[in-house]
Structure 1
Amino acid sequence: MIQWKEKPKVRLFDGCLTLIILIVLFYGLYSDDAVILKLISFVAVFIGLCYILYKVLSFIFDIFTKMFF
């Protein structure tokens, strides 16, 4: 049986918060506003996607290490 380091509710809240932030940032990216705002939104979306990728990879790595080690 896999023992989680974090509680599932914390993980779910983290995912929902990240999703809400990404929706807001994509809206900022595609709205007709200043170029500086679009640049900031683009950088923030990139950081958010890297964060999600990090979370998914750490989750998979945790499962992998629990199964085989």
Structure 2
Amino acid sequence: MKQQSEQRIDHAIRLLLQTLERNVTDTGIILGEYEATHDDRELCDSIQYGALNAGYFAMKDAIETINNRLNK
């Protein structure tokens, strides 16, 4: 039972990292497109852009935190 739960947590971590990395990539593309089509003022005024940007960096921080904890 103990070994099975350890295997399940390893699998869950891999899936979480894959999902976060895929979402960071997709979100980065969308942010890049938005930045290419809007000026700085529009970026600052956009609530949606600000929210997505915050989520993007939160996901990057989560990936870094997970990797740091796994590599200790």
* Bin of the TM-score, shorter chain as denominator length: 0.5 to 0.7
Contact 1:18 1:48 in 2 (8 A): yes
Higher helix share: 2
Structure 1 gap segments, 5+ residues each = 65-69
Structure 2 gap segments, 5+ residues each = 1-6
What is the count of residue pairs matched by the alignment?
Answer: 61
Point out which structure has higher relative CO (alpha carbons under 8 A, 6+ apart).
2
TM normalised by structure 1 equals 0.56
Matched, 1:51 2:59: yes
Alignment match of 1:15 (pick from 18, 21, 40): 21
Matched, 1:35 2:42: yes
Root mean square deviation, CA, Å: 3.0
Identity %: 7
